[in-house]
A and B are shown apart, each in its own frame.
Chain A
Amino acid sequence: MSILSVENVSKTFGGLKALMSVSFSVKQGEIYGIIGPNGSGKTTLINCITGFIKPEAGKVYFRGSNIKGWPAHKIARAGIARTFQVMRPYYSLPAYKNLIIPLWSPRARAIGGWRGGGRHGDRDTVAVDILEEIGFERDSRVPYKMASTLPTGYLKRLELARCIALRPEIIFCDEVFSGLSASEVAGMVPLIEKLKMEGITLIMVEHRLKELFKVADRVMALQFGEKIAEGHYTEVIADPRVKEAYLGSEEV
């Protein structure tokens, strides 16, 4: 039973065809990778599914209901969280306060059992718990630092923590590995696996193929807005069109 299935989603910007009839489906608890060279429409695909831009055609089924055309906040409320490729923390707030916002949302409130307002206390504790889970040292000052002073590695984690706080069923990760050092990525991989163990479905758009292939169950390749291959990563990289798309640009 697939939790999310995307059927023939298309999007054009002016004359540019960003997505041409892309279809795929993801099973519950799976890690699904999306790869492709720059400009192949990966982020556009995420934006279309999560409602940040409206696809022109196609259908997006989440647990059997068509969520295409829903506003972004409603899709998030249904249980689809996402990170942003260009990190978007709340720079004027301390790291743990960043999580108050998703924890305040109707979805997290319903699942977490908070009613109405609630001040500090509860949510702050949960926020620090989530940060600890994602790799912020609880006893250090890091969770209490201003988001604007945190290094990239922590910001990427914070981005993921914001998704976790929403208690989602699916998380779209838009290049969470990019910009990180090899050791930082090595620290992220167990995190991803842990989320999978918890039953969360992950859809990862990634340029760091080596790391992605370690965790992904299935991979899809996009080029110029078209799906060119799908399957286990060994099959995908063996595909001649994928090879051609990546030739010289990326080591596999």
Chain B
Amino acid sequence: MEVRRKERIDRGIKVRSEGIYCVSSPKEMLYVAGPRLLLIAGLLLLPLVLEMAPYWKRVVNIMCVYGLLAISFDFLANVVGLVCLGGAMFIGVGGYMTAIFNVYLHCPVFLAIPLAGLSGALICTVLLLPCLALRGVYFAIVTLMYPLLFTRIIEALNILGGTNGITGLDSFPNPYLENYVIIVLLLIFLFGLRRLMDEDIGLVLRGVKDNDQSVRASGINVAHLKALAVFITSFIGCLGGAYLAHLYMWAGLSLFALDFSIIPIAAVTIGGGGSMMGAVIGTFILVPLSEFLRFFGTFRIVIYCLILTGFIVFRSEGLLTYFARKYDQFERWAKI
């Protein structure tokens, strides 16, 4: 009887393009840049392709908002090591801030969104500051509570429109702008965060997750670094929230909904953490899926959670690693 095993061999280009070798021929450059270009071109063309289906164009917008949340969750959890269980906090704070700027202070849309991003990020960072100097589950616990807390406070004090929310936000001037604002934002932050990870400061942030004592011993204030990371991610999340509020022309309590907390986590787990790319792939699978499951209502959260748990237990490396392996290596059966 013949015994065989599957062996995996790196493609030649992979060997050369990784590490210190030089990639020179157009073919090799395309090999390295191909997947990226595919993603960028695909995303940019999507609104044009879906011209006949305005409903799905809207789904693409929402998908990109979740994409922003997912990359910020991935960055916090897998680079810096802080697990944020309340992504809804960023969406909600961003949404309400833009409503304040737009409705109460009459800023135009394209001024209100960045202002909401900055001020929201500042608020979130200050609120999370007390648990940044600590290790362990404290960050997860506190982020879990904030979305609930915001909802309660707004209900109890009946501020910011109370349970009705703030209505009358300006919408985007035209539907193409509506699409491309969020798509471009997602691409910028996706590649921006990936670039940041390769920068020296990105290495330092990864050091924090690996082993914060050594970072301290190197004369670097870990709490400051973590605050910086939280600021960046909450900025991204708040921009998403601000966009969403303008898309709905409304900022209300549902911006603190559970979906905004759990879908990004599920997306990162499914896609594979640590590279931001997996997070985006995860959202592109989950969000359209959840549109098909609209009929199930809140049961969708159960489905996400089950998929999520399944992936954590059985496929903890995520889909991206799987795809990357197929791309970079070929497999064959070899005799033993």
A–B touch (CB < 8 A): the answer is yes
| Residues in A lying within 8 Å of B, measured CB to CB | 50, 52, 71-74, 76-77, 81-82, 84, 88-93, 97, 100-108, 117-120, 123, 144, 162, 165-166
Main secondary structure of the interface of B (DSSP, over half): helix
A residues less than 8 Å from B214 (CB atoms): 84, 88-90, 101, 162
B192 within 8 Å of A by Cβ?
no
Known: A88-B214, A123-B200. 10 other contacts (CB 8 A): A74-B221, A76-B220, A77-B219, A81-B217, A82-B217, A92-B206, A101-B204, A101-B218, A104-B220, A108-B219
Query: Are B211 and A117 touching (Cβ within 8 A)?
Result: no
Residue from B19, B207, B219 with most neighbouring chain A CB atoms (10 Å): B219
| Residues in B lying within 8 Å of A, measured CB to CB | 19-20, 198-201, 203-204, 206-207, 210-211, 213-222
- With A101-B203, A117-B199 known as contacts, the answer to whether A90 contacts B211 (CB < 8 A) is yes
Q: How many A-B residue pairs lie within 8 Å, measured between CB atoms?
A: 90
A-B contact pairs, 27 of them (CB 8 A): A52-B217, A71-B216, A73-B220, A76-B220, A81-B217, A84-B213, A88-B211, A88-B213, A89-B211, A89-B214, A90-B206, A90-B210, A91-B211, A92-B206, A92-B210, A93-B210, A97-B203, A101-B203, A101-B215, A102-B218, A103-B200, A107-B219, A117-B201, A118-B200, A119-B200, A144-B19, A165-B218
Q: How far is the CA of A88 from the CA of B217 in the complex (A)?
A: 10
Query: Are A76 and B216 touching (Cβ within 8 A)?
Result: yes
Residue in B19, B206, B219 whose beta carbon sits within 8 Å of that of A106 in the complex: B219
In the complex, how many angstroms separate the beta carbon of B240 from the nearest chain A beta carbon? 26
Task: Name the residue of chain B whose CB is nearest to the CB of A165.
Answer: B218
Residue from A72, A92, A123 with most neighbouring chain B CB atoms (10 Å): A72
Query: Are A166 and B218 touching (Cβ within 8 A)?
Result: yes
Q: How far is the CA of A93 from the CA of B202 in the complex (A)?
A: 12
Q: How far is the CA of A107 from the CA of B216 in the complex (A)?
A: 13
Query: Are A93 and B207 touching (Cβ within 8 A)?
Result: yes
Query: Are A50 and B217 touching (Cβ within 8 A)?
Result: yes
In the complex, how many angstroms separate the beta carbon of B221 from the nearest chain A beta carbon? 5
Q: How far is the CA of A103 from the CA of B220 in the complex (A)?
A: 10
In the complex, how many angstroms separate the beta carbon of A119 from the nearest chain B beta carbon? 6
Query: Are A162 and B218 touching (Cβ within 8 A)?
Result: yes
Q: How far is the CA of A105 from the CA of B203 in the complex (A)?
A: 12
Query: Are B216 and A72 touching (Cβ within 8 A)?
Result: yes
Query: Are A84 and B217 touching (Cβ within 8 A)?
Result: yes
Q: How far is the CA of A204 from the CA of B220 in the complex (A)?
A: 23
Q: How far is the CA of A223 from the CA of B210 in the complex (A)?
A: 34
- With A52-B213, A91-B210 known as contacts, the answer to whether A117 contacts B218 (CB < 8 A) is no
A residues less than 8 Å from B222 (CB atoms): 73
B residues less than 8 Å from A103 (CB atoms): 200
Q: How far is the CA of A93 from the CA of B214 in the complex (A)?
A: 13
In the complex, how many angstroms separate the beta carbon of B211 from the nearest chain A beta carbon? 5
- With A73-B219, A73-B220, A76-B219 known as contacts, the answer to whether A104 contacts B203 (CB < 8 A) is yes
A residues less than 8 Å from B219 (CB atoms): 73-74, 76-77, 102, 105-108, 166
Q: How far is the CA of A88 from the CA of B208 in the complex (A)?
A: 12
In the complex, how many angstroms separate the beta carbon of B220 from the nearest chain A beta carbon? 5
Q: How far is the CA of A76 from the CA of B222 in the complex (A)?
A: 13
Query: Are B216 and A73 touching (Cβ within 8 A)?
Result: yes
Q: How far is the CA of A107 from the CA of B217 in the complex (A)?
A: 12
Task: Name the residue of chain A whose CB is nearest to the CB of B211.
Answer: A88
